[in-house]
Structure 1
Amino acid sequence: MSPIGLCLLSLVSLTLVSIVIAQERAPHGLVYENPEAFSPSAYNFFHPNEKKPETKNPCAASKCSPMPLAAQVEATEIHESRAKTLERGSRKLGAGGLAGIVFGVAFVVVLAMGVYHVRVTRRTNMSRANHNGAVQTHV
C-alpha cells in the first residue's frame, strides 16, 4: 500500500474512533441542564418591560441626574430606513457554507501534497535512471 493511502486510512480510522468515543460520553448542553429558579432581581433584569414606572420622571423621587432621560431620543425616518436596508443586504454564513470552506481547503491541501509527491517521485526516478546509464543521450 502506498504511503499516501496508508496515511489516509489511518486518518479515517482515527476520526471514526474519536467519533465513537465521543458518543459514549454523558450528554451535555443546555437541554440537559437542571432548571434553576431566578431571584426576583434577576427576573426583573431579564424582563425589563414587565413593570412600567408609575411616574414619567423616574428622578422625581430620588432626585437623580436627568442625564439618562437625555439619552432617550426618538429615531428619525432616515435612520430607520438605513438600518432596514443594511439588515436586508447582510448575509450570514451557515453551517453548510463553513463546512464547504473547510472541505475546500482540505481538498486543496491534499491535491498539493499529491502533486508534490508525483514531482519528487519523478525526479528521483530520473536521477536513478541517469546514474544507472539507462538513459542514453544522442551524440
Structure 2
Amino acid sequence: MNPIGLSLLSLVSLALVSIVTAQERAPHGLVYENPEAFSPSAYSFFHPNEKKPETRDPCAASKCSPMPLAAQVEATEIHESKAKTHEEGRKKLGAGGIAGIIFGVAFVVVLAMGVYHVRVTRRTNMSRARDNGAVQQDA
C-alpha cells in the first residue's frame, strides 16, 4: 500500500474512533439543563431597565464623592510617557494576518505533499522501466 493511502486510512480510522468515543459521553448543552429560579439580586442585575426607586442625591446615604468630581483626574508625565511608548510598540496581529499564516502553512504542506508524490511516482516509473529493459543504464 502506498504511503498516501496508508496515511489516509490512518486518518479516517482516527476520526472514526474519536466519533465513536464522543457519542459515549453524557449529553450536554442548554437543552439538558434543569431550569433554576433567579435570586432577586440576579434578576435585578439582568433586568436593569426595571423601575428603581429614584433618589435626588445618590451619594447622600453612602457619602461618596459625586461623579463629575471623581472623574477629573490629572495625568502625570509617567503615565503619559508609558502610553506613548506603548502606542509606538509592536502592532497587533489582525484577522487578515492570522488567515495569511494559516493559508501559508496550508500551502507549504500541500506543496510538500506534491513534491513527495512526484518523487515517489518518478522513482516507481523508473524502476518499472528498468525492469522492462526500456532504459539502459550508463556503463
Q: Which residue number corresponds to residue 39 of structure 1? A: 39
Q: Residues 81-96 of structure 1: matches in 2 within 5 Å?
A: none
Structure 1 SS opposite 2:19: helix
- C-alpha change, 1:66 and 1:38, in structure 2 (3 Å) is same
Give ranges in structure 2 of 5+ residues lacking alignment. 72-94
1:8 counterpart letter in structure 2: L
Equivalent residue number for residue 137 of structure 2: 135
Q: Please, which runs of 5 or more residues in structure 1 have no aligned partner?
A: 72-92
Q: CA deviation at 1:116?
A: 2.5
- Kindly provide the CA deviation profile for residues 16-36 of structure 1, in whole angstroms up to 9, marking residues without a partner as x: 231133123221122211122
* CA drift at 1:12: 0.9
2:62 paired with 1:58: no
Q: Percent identity?
A: 83
Structure 1 residues 106 and 12, CA gap change in structure 2 (3 angstroms): farther
Q: Distance in 1 between matches of 2:9 and 2:114?
A: 15
What TM-score results when the alignment is normalised by the length of structure 1? Answer: 0.53
Q: How far did residue 51 of structure 1 move?
A: 3.0
Rate the CA distance shift 1:25–1:106 in 2: closer, same or farther, 3 A. Answer: farther
Query: Which letter maps to 1:62?
Result: S
1: CA distance, partners of 2:69 / 2:41? 23
**1:55-106 CA distances to partner (integer Å, 9 max, x unpaired)?**
24211333321127876xxxxxxxxxxxxxxxxxxxxx9xxxx9xx989965
Aligned to 1:24: 24
| Deviation at residue 2 of structure 1 after TM alignment | 0.7
